[in-house]
Structure formats: C-alpha cells, structure tokens
A and B are shown apart, each in its own frame.
Chain A
Amino acid sequence: MTRSRRSPRTTRRSLRGSEALALNTASPLSRRRLLCAGAAAAVAAPLFGCANAARGPSIGRVVVIGGGYGGATAARYLRLWGGNIEVTLVERNTEFVSCPLSNLVISGHKQMADITRPYAALEGLGVRRVQGEAVAIDPQARQVRLADGRTLGYDRAIVSPGVDFTPGEVIGLDSPVAHQKILHAWKAGPQTAALRRQIEAMPDGGVYALTIPTAPFRCPPGPYERACLVADHFRRFKPRSKVLVLDANPEIQSKKVLFERAFAEHYKGIIEYRPNNELRQVDAATNSAKLDFDDVKADVLNVIPPQRAADIVRSAGLANINNRWVGVHWLTMEATAAPGIHVLGDATFAAPLMPKSGHLANQHAKVAAAAIIQLLKGEPVNATPVVANTCYSYVTALEAVHISTVHQYDTAEKTFKVVPGSGGLSTAASELEGRIALAWADNIWADTLAI
C-alpha cells in the first residue's frame, strides 16, 4: 500500500498505527509523487531529500497558510519537533512584518526595517516556502489552491490567516477612494508606512481621529497604544494637534486603568476619548465620519474596521461561529467544522479571556504542532496543554505596560481557562518595561522565525 494509491477516503482519516507504518515504507514513492506534483515541488524536493536523509522518511505533508506569528511558528516547530514532516508555508509577503511594535512606526519612533524580519532561517530548517495567495481549501480532496492555479496536497493543513475586515458594515468605507485614503494600518505592512506619512503630512493644529470597532478585534490594547504614541509625537512636534478616539465599545478594552492614567497624565488636552460611539458612515472626499453620537471631520481619519476571520477560512466553511470566527478543538487546534484543518491565532473563536494577540498565536502554533506530529504518528495528543499571553503596550515612546495570563486546558469544559490568581497588569508604566517589550519582540521573532 502506498500513499499515492490510497483512496481519498483513507487519506481523509487521521493516520494511525499500521497506516503510519505504511507511509514510512512508502517513502520513495511519496517522494516521486512529490516530484511529479509540479515545478514548485521539484524545487523543494532537494531540500526535503536532504533533511529526510538525516531524520528518516517523511511521515506526512503539512501545508501552513499564513506566515505570521501563528503560521511561521507552526512551520518552525513542526520541523524542530517533528523533523521528518514535509512542511510547506504559503505566505503572500516576502518578509515577516510585525504588528506588535508597528504603532511605534506610525508615531515615527521606529522604522519599517525595525519590525521586518526574513523567512530565510525557516527555509534553512527545511520549510518549503511558497510565495502566493491561498484562495481555497478543499477539505475533501485535502488540497490548498493558490491564486495562480497551483495546488498543494496535504495530510494536515494549518491555517493561520489572521483577520479580514467587513468594511461593508460602514457606509462609504468600501469605495475605491476610501480604500486609498482611509487607512486601517491594522495589518502591518504598506498601510503602516502610509499612515505614518499621513500623520507626518498633517498640519499642526490638525485632528487625527481613530475609530475602534466592536470587540472582538485583533490586539485589544492596540488602538489605545496607537492613540498614546501618536499623541506623544504630537506633544513634541505638533503641540496644537488633537487625537480623537472614537470607540464603539463602552470602555477601553484592555489595560484600562493604565491607559486612563496615561491619557490623564501625559496627554491631557491632546487625547479625547469618546466611548459608545460606533462608526456608521464615512465620506472619504471630505474625511468626515458619522458615528452613533458624533459627526466628525478629521485631517487624518484612521478607521479600524469591524473584523472577522480572514476570507480563506470562509471558503472552506470553517467560520462556524457567528459566520465570523472559527470554532476549534483546543487540544489540537483542529477546526470543529473540518477535520484535518488546524486553525490558529486571531481567526479562532477565542477561549474565555483569550485575546487575539501575536503571543497567543505563537502559543496556539506549538499546541497544534505537537498535536499534528502525534496524529501523524498515530499516537495520543497532549491532554493537558498550557498557553500563556504576555502583551506589552507603549504609553509613551519609552514607557510600556503589560498584561499577562496563563491558560490551562480544562478537561471537563474542553477549553482553555485562565488560572485563578495568575496573570495581571503592570502596577505602573516604566522605562524598564519599555526595554523589556523590545526584548520580548526580539525573542518572539527569533522563536517564530528560527532567527
């Protein structure tokens, strides 16, 4: 029995016992099959050949969609822990650009190069990197389709796609001129640099308005950190300017007491915070916005749009919670809607008190990588996983605060729960935590990208 001859029905099941053995002995044929799969596979074959020669024959193919904190970590740890797994990482960008610390670029305190890192070290570990856009996943055929028509077969898929926006929920936000002019900068990349340019070009005395969507959204403290850092820039270089924070939520969504203190201590007269104010309509031509209780005209209008799991998960029918987020089995991170597809990070419907953070995406990835290796070997998965979150936010260019949580798996409730008495907030902002935040970034990028 060889993998290439197995029926699709057999392929769909997780590999256990004798099947896993059969796969091992079928290695030469699997490799030949890989060579036949197209030009991209042919390029990758020598890499796998090399790695497998040292670590034994392949025990399975894993395609990872998305090279952010979740996907890159999963690819790295599958190779680190699994060794003889053929890992393909599909990512549209050529380099990793970090959302954490990107607010420092927007405020002019860091450059794009400071938050950009290469994927090269992952490739050095034997991860086959495919630059492209995954547009569909076929759970029956176990195949990922790319925008350029290429297809990638898998035994297990990992999808760590982040969020996409639902601009259609705000009148005027989905127009071509709005797309060009009203930035979100909520995915680190070209919009980060573009928002920086808008803020640089804004005259002193201007208004920067930031709208925050209803929770849940990616990075709960991120909007308030952005408000602080832009205000820090203004107080130094454009002291007559204002930061207007228009929040759809009733209160600050994370590190509330610390941000309130920063607003009052550092940015009195600069930051104005207005809660319960959902964005309804924008006019890109005049940079104006209609909210529940306000009409606002801004010099720079920065709209963080309402969010949901990225579009790719919808094509496979994975977004089974409110048609927005992906329900997962937390022991394996497998989507509840489709066996064999593991979903990580911001796209998941979160466990209680679990924020959509890069740190947690990295932690999800390790749970998934460990589970997938066991499943491919036909062995039991870890029944007691633990994940933790540590998230830093700058309240000035130099001072940061943190929030931390530890989440243990609860066997009875089949979800992660925060350990009572663990975790918490900084007592106060400090320059020490500002330096630790940079060390955190340096270390998590290294852990994620094998730098």
Chain B
Amino acid sequence: MRAALLCASLLLAVGAARAEDALLARNLAAVCANCHGTDGHARGDLIKPLAGAPAERIVAAMAGYRGGALPATVMHQIAKGFSDDQIKAIAAYYATQPARQ
C-alpha cells in the first residue's frame, strides 16, 4: 500500500515536471516566433519556417550558426544567446508542430 502510494506520488511528480518542461519549451519557442511565425509558421520565403522541422536539423543549424559554419545575417548572434538545453527544447517543440500544407 505504502509502495503503491509512493509510486503514485512519484508518477504525479514526474507528470508535473513534464508539464513544466512542456511549458518551458513553449515559452522558449515563442522567443523565435516574432520572426519565424507563431508556432513556427513563417510568412514569405526569406525566413525559414520551423514548424515540423526535424529537431536534429534545428539543433544542427543552431550549432552551425554558433560556430560560424553556416552563413547568417543575424542567427549567428542570436544562436549564442541560448544554452544547449534551451536549443534542444526549442527544437523538440517545433518538431512537433504541424507544418502548414
């Protein structure tokens, strides 16, 4: 009984932590939305849409901007403002957004 209770409360705690992580990822991703569109649905063809992009591609692009391997007008400066964990969370969020038809 005690073990079951402990188990249940642990599960609840894990659930709460996941919900918090999801909110954090959503909030971090919203930092990009001014330029890249709400939930990554960018307008026009100059700014890359992020919705539906594979997470590993976003992470790799940010690493490329940071290191200078990828040419950029502004992303090399913005990319240096986020931690690796933040970039992973942002990438995971956008990967799960449906791409527009």
Closest to B36 in A: A443
Given contacts A432-B73, A439-B47, contact A390 B35 (CB under 8 A): yes
Given contacts A359-B34, A442-B44, A446-B43, contact A366 B81 (CB under 8 A): no
Given contacts A370-B23, A382-B23, A439-B47, contact A447 B33 (CB under 8 A): yes
Within 8 A of A (CB), among B30-47: 30-31, 33-38, 42-44, 46-47
Given contacts A390-B35, A440-B35, contact A421 B73 (CB under 8 A): no
Given contacts A80-B38, A382-B23, A422-B77, contact A387 B43 (CB under 8 A): no
- Contact in complex: B37, A404 (CB < 8 Å): no
CB of B26 to closest CB in A, whole Å: 7
CB of B44 to closest CB in A, whole Å: 5
Given contacts A390-B35, A443-B34, A446-B37, contact A435 B78 (CB under 8 A): no
- Contact in complex: B34, A390 (CB < 8 Å): yes
Encode B8-51 as 1/0 by CB contact (under 8 A) with A. 00000000000010011011101101111110001110110000
CB of A245 to closest CB in B, whole Å: 27
One of B30, B73, B78, B81 near A408 (C-beta < 8 A): B81
Kindly count the residue-residue contacts between A and B in the assembled complex, taking CB atoms under 8 Å apart: 101
- Contact in complex: A370, B38 (CB < 8 Å): no
- When chains A and B are docked, how far (Å) is the Cα of A410 from the Cα of B34? 23
> What residues of A have a CB within 8 angstroms of the CB of B96 in the complex?
none
- When chains A and B are docked, how far (Å) is the Cα of A359 from the Cα of B36? 13
> What residues of A have a CB within 8 angstroms of the CB of B79 in the complex?
422
> What residues of A have a CB within 8 angstroms of the CB of B82 in the complex?
386, 406, 419
> What residues of A have a CB within 8 angstroms of the CB of B47 in the complex?
436, 439-440, 443
A362 contacts B by Cβ under 8 Å: yes
Encode A386-417 as 1/0 by CB contact (under 8 A) with B. 11101000000000001011111000000000
Within 8 A of B (CB), among A70-90: 77, 80-81
> What residues of A have a CB within 8 angstroms of the CB of B26 in the complex?
81, 370
- Contact in complex: A404, B74 (CB < 8 Å): yes
- Contact in complex: B34, A382 (CB < 8 Å): no
> What residues of B have a CB within 8 angstroms of the CB of A404 in the complex?
74, 77-78
**B positions within 8 Å CB-CB of A:** 20, 23-24, 26-28, 30-31, 33-38, 42-44, 46-47, 73-74, 77-82, 86
**A positions within 8 Å CB-CB of B:** 77, 80-81, 359, 362-363, 366-367, 370, 374, 380, 382, 384-388, 390, 402, 404-408, 419, 421-424, 426, 430, 432-433, 435-436, 439-440, 442-444, 446-447, 450
Q: A366-B33, A404-B74, A447-B37 provided; 10 other pairs, C-beta below 8 A?
A: A370-B26, A390-B34, A404-B77, A419-B80, A421-B80, A422-B79, A423-B80, A436-B46, A439-B43, A450-B38
